[in-house]
Chains A and B, each alone.
Chain A
């Protein structure tokens, strides 16, 4: 046998290995093939190919493994059980950039499914290797490493802490400044995943100087980047007042408001979330947002969007109105504001959005009679009552609508809006409705006339109250405002009394 023939055998073997690995990788990119591949035992075949001498075979084998692990959790567990990870981590330090990209892809695919798998990835010492990858020059390698780190940090606080302890944060902040868009996106998403768990982690990210760079990217035209940037900023600002103030000091307002009308739906949602997280902390921050014209923008956003994405906008309006009476008035004054929320309450089928709208309306209306009037005029009260008494309403919705009703009723003296409540309300609410009437009627003759003509007096007479209770006193106060004949006329059983008198009457002659 000549040398050439011997070498040909090896060449053929190498070629077949290469084709096998490439075909498997290609097949694994389609989800319907993966089950078949797994059943055929692709995992166990690919594993020794990771140690192949030919680098391209190694890379493609890693790529194929990554695609397999990406598909579902069982395959990822199989990857972990087959002890592939330590080998990957070891070679991550040595090999060239294509291998690094593929290996990072495998790590990311394994870590994304569950905290347990992510923990096993961390236990193999992947973090240090990934952080070293972040220092590379090639943007593709950095992107893959940042993606893997983001997926690891996503699950819970401990994993995020371990990512931070590995020293990833300053490198991620450097990655954000790179010119490549995809790298920026991934690093912003990784930072957002780190920040969301606890204030200390968010503080670490802020200390690395992330806010300035994130703020610079706010006006970037790329929609996906903006999604991640706003998500990161909102995760930072949600934890504490100081962090929110630091985010605001980066001068994102009013530039951020233009993104409320962005073409991408998720950008809008994330901006609304960011504004909500900032507004909820203190009255000063809310004042800042209101002064920048944020309320009008959010109102328009709530009006135009549908479904779950409305929720952060509604909650933001509630938070702003909750802080102080001035801010609630500012919210009312942004035209068609209250009607917008009332419409939300009516339209949305989901209970939690209705609950949020009810809560926000309660916060707006609870400060002074002016506010309560503005809310009541939008015909909100019967709707809130309906939400409270509806049989299929969730408990959260019932509690929130009851509280909102009580908040508004405490201050509402606009009698026209209270009329419908007289007829439908349950007794504990009815007591306060009647109480409010008893406060206003003694002083206002026009209201008294309206009260009689609209049937309110009749309804009040029909209410049964125990003597000595507050309701009884209110009813007495109301009855004292009217002449006796009218009160007697409307009292129940008066028609029977009159008829009895008719029966007993003896006509003269």
Chain B
């Protein structure tokens, strides 16, 4: 009871303190509420942020792994291509090397072989000398032969003459004309006459058939002997024809047309054609239908002036000034214009008149 009385005595105090506290609390309620809300907001934000951060990190991790995977794929493709290109280049280089060696060999052997040509020309010079010498020798021999023949012929003629004229020989009693007694020794003709034997008497000529000229033989023709057959034949195996064997052994190199054509064949052929045309051309003055190919463009005088484009067109072709006319007669061209105007005027007059009429009635 005492505390209750005490409490009742303090009721006012309590009530004021309570009231004060409540009022303070009330005053501070919103501030504290706000503060609590702020703290809660902040905390919620932190939670959400952490969550988002976590999500971001997960996403990044996934993307990282995925990109690495894609990149490695691309890398592998790149490497494959690069290796392909490298190998291709290597093969090209090797093929070039083979082609280079083959082309060099082919040209040097079949198209232009310098050493064999040099050898050929040297051999040709030697051969020419040999032929020249042989020809000269044969000619000299022929000359000597013909000379000798002429001498023999002369000798034979002399002997023939001597054989026919043996009566000119001197005898014991009568000296011949070539053995003059006033000369110390006889003429050489005398010795020839002495040496030569007289011609034997002529044999009877063989009979010839008059029409054909054949000689009619005296005795019948003798039997001819025939050659004996060979003794014994040895059998030898069936041989290939030597031509075949030669062909097999020395088969010539037959390059295709593609191989045999030079690389610059078309250019060379073009150049050769041009050169031949120039050589065969009789008249060297080339016909030119025009002397100046490129001429500068010359614009019309009408359209160029320093002050711009001149007035141009039908509106400016016909300039009329009626005040300047000498006479006031209408030109024939204006007649139809005037006529049209008159018609229009007449029409309007009639209209007006009819309107007036209508208005009156």
The chain A residues found within 8 Å of chain B, CB to CB, are: 96-97, 136-141, 254, 257-258, 260-263, 290-297, 300, 326, 329-330, 333-335, 366, 399, 403, 406-407, 410, 428
**A293-B131 contact in complex given A140-B213, A410-B275, C-beta closer than 8 Å:** yes
Q: Is the CB of B135 within 8 A of A300?
A: yes
Bitwise interface map of B from 113 to 149 toward A, beta carbon under 8 Å scored 1, else 0? 0000100010011011111101110110011001000
Q: Is the CB of B284 within 8 A of A428?
A: yes
Cβ–Cβ < 8 Å partners of B121 in chain A: 329-330, 333
Q: Is the CB of B213 within 8 A of A261?
A: no
Judge if B280 is at the interface, Cβ distance under 8 Å: yes
**A137-B213 contact in complex given A258-B134, A258-B135, A407-B279, C-beta closer than 8 Å:** yes
Cβ–Cβ < 8 Å partners of B132 in chain A: 293, 296-297, 300
CA distance A297 to B135 in the complex (A): 8
CA distance A137 to B211 in the complex (A): 9
17 CB < 8 A contacts A-B: A96-B210, A97-B210, A97-B211, A136-B212, A138-B213, A138-B214, A258-B139, A261-B138, A263-B139, A292-B131, A293-B127, A293-B131, A295-B128, A297-B132, A333-B124, A406-B278, A407-B279
Looking at B124, B129, B136, the one whose CB has the most chain A CB atoms below 10 A away is: B124
**Additional A-B contact list (6), CB under 8 Å, known A262-B139, A263-B146:** A137-B212, A296-B129, A296-B131, A334-B124, A406-B279, A428-B284
Cβ–Cβ < 8 Å partners of B285 in chain A: 428
Q: Is the CB of A403 within 8 A of B146?
A: no
Cβ–Cβ < 8 Å partners of A263 in chain B: 139, 142-143, 146
CA distance A334 to B122 in the complex (A): 10
Q: Is the CB of A97 within 8 A of B212?
A: yes
Judge if B321 is at the interface, Cβ distance under 8 Å: no
CA distance A378 to B195 in the complex (A): 63
Which of B131, B213, B275 has a CB less than 8 Å from the CB of A297?
A: B131
CA distance A216 to B82 in the complex (A): 78
Judge if B101 is at the interface, Cβ distance under 8 Å: no
**A290-B213 contact in complex given A254-B131, A258-B138, A296-B131, C-beta closer than 8 Å:** no
Q: Is the CB of B128 within 8 A of A296?
A: yes
Judge if B282 is at the interface, Cβ distance under 8 Å: yes
- What is the CB-to-nearest-CB distance from A471 to chain B, in angstroms, rounded to a whole number? 12
**Total of A-B residue pairs, C-beta within 8 Å:** 82
Residue of A nearest to B124 (CB): A330
> Looking at chain A's contact residues, is the secondary structure mostly helix, strand, loop, or mixed?
helix
Cβ–Cβ < 8 Å partners of A330 in chain B: 121, 124
Q: Is the CB of A261 within 8 A of B212?
A: no
Q: Is the CB of A97 within 8 A of B128?
A: no
CA distance A296 to B127 in the complex (A): 9
Residue of A nearest to B281 (CB): A406
Cβ–Cβ < 8 Å partners of A334 in chain B: 124-125, 128
Residue of A nearest to B127 (CB): A293
Cβ–Cβ < 8 Å partners of A300 in chain B: 132, 135
CA distance A297 to B127 in the complex (A): 11
CA distance A330 to B117 in the complex (A): 10
- What is the CB-to-nearest-CB distance from B272 to chain A, in angstroms, rounded to a whole number? 10
Cβ–Cβ < 8 Å partners of A406 in chain B: 278-279
Which of A138, A141, A261 has a CB less than 8 Å from the CB of B136?
A: A261
Scan residues 45-65 of chain B and give those whose CB is less than 8 A from a CB of chain A.
none
**A290-B124 contact in complex given A263-B142, A406-B278, A410-B279, C-beta closer than 8 Å:** yes
Cβ–Cβ < 8 Å partners of B214 in chain A: 137-138
Residue of A nearest to B136 (CB): A261
Cβ–Cβ < 8 Å partners of B146 in chain A: 263
Cβ–Cβ < 8 Å partners of B134 in chain A: 258
Which of B128, B129, B135, B210 has a CB less than 8 Å from the CB of A260?
A: B135
Cβ–Cβ < 8 Å partners of B130 in chain A: 293
Q: Is the CB of B279 within 8 A of A257?
A: no
**A261-B127 contact in complex given A403-B280, A406-B278, A410-B279, C-beta closer than 8 Å:** no
CA distance A297 to B125 in the complex (A): 12
Cβ–Cβ < 8 Å partners of B213 in chain A: 97, 136-141
CA distance A139 to B127 in the complex (A): 44
**A261-B135 contact in complex given A136-B212, A407-B279, C-beta closer than 8 Å:** yes
CA distance A334 to B282 in the complex (A): 33
Q: Is the CB of B128 within 8 A of A293?
A: yes
Cβ–Cβ < 8 Å partners of A137 in chain B: 212-214
Residue of B nearest to A410 (CB): B275
Scan residues 278-329 of chain B and give those whose CB is less than 8 A from a CB of chain A.
278-280, 282, 284-285
Cβ–Cβ < 8 Å partners of B212 in chain A: 97, 136-138
- What is the CB-to-nearest-CB distance from A311 to chain B, in angstroms, rounded to a whole number? 21
CA distance A261 to B136 in the complex (A): 8
- What is the CB-to-nearest-CB distance from B149 to chain A, in angstroms, rounded to a whole number? 10
Residue of A nearest to B213 (CB): A138
Cβ–Cβ < 8 Å partners of B125 in chain A: 333-335
- What is the CB-to-nearest-CB distance from B281 to chain A, in angstroms, rounded to a whole number? 8
- What is the CB-to-nearest-CB distance from A204 to chain B, in angstroms, rounded to a whole number? 29
Cβ–Cβ < 8 Å partners of B129 in chain A: 296
- What is the CB-to-nearest-CB distance from B253 to chain A, in angstroms, rounded to a whole number? 17
Residue of A nearest to B131 (CB): A293
Cβ–Cβ < 8 Å partners of A326 in chain B: 117
Q: Is the CB of B282 within 8 A of A399?
A: yes
Cβ–Cβ < 8 Å partners of B143 in chain A: 263
CA distance A407 to B279 in the complex (A): 6
CA distance A263 to B139 in the complex (A): 8
CA distance A366 to B117 in the complex (A): 19
Q: Is the CB of A96 within 8 A of B127?
A: no
Residue of B nearest to A332 (CB): B121
- What is the CB-to-nearest-CB distance from A496 to chain B, in angstroms, rounded to a whole number? 32
- What is the CB-to-nearest-CB distance from A217 to chain B, in angstroms, rounded to a whole number? 16
CA distance A300 to B146 in the complex (A): 22
- What is the CB-to-nearest-CB distance from A93 to chain B, in angstroms, rounded to a whole number? 12
Looking at B127, B129, B214, the one whose CB has the most chain A CB atoms below 10 A away is: B127
Residue of B nearest to A290 (CB): B124
CA distance A261 to B138 in the complex (A): 8
Residue of A nearest to B141 (CB): A258
Cβ–Cβ < 8 Å partners of B275 in chain A: 410
Looking at B129, B132, B142, B212, the one whose CB has the most chain A CB atoms below 10 A away is: B132
Query: Which are the 8 A-B pairs with shortest beta-carbon distances?
Result: A138-B213, A293-B131, A296-B128, A428-B284, A261-B139, A406-B279, A258-B138, A137-B212
CA distance A329 to B118 in the complex (A): 11
Q: Is the CB of A291 within 8 A of B127?
A: yes
Cβ–Cβ < 8 Å partners of A291 in chain B: 124, 127
Residue of A nearest to B212 (CB): A137
CA distance A377 to B117 in the complex (A): 23
CA distance A139 to B210 in the complex (A): 14
- What is the CB-to-nearest-CB distance from B143 to chain A, in angstroms, rounded to a whole number? 7
CA distance A185 to B59 in the complex (A): 119
- What is the CB-to-nearest-CB distance from B258 to chain A, in angstroms, rounded to a whole number? 22
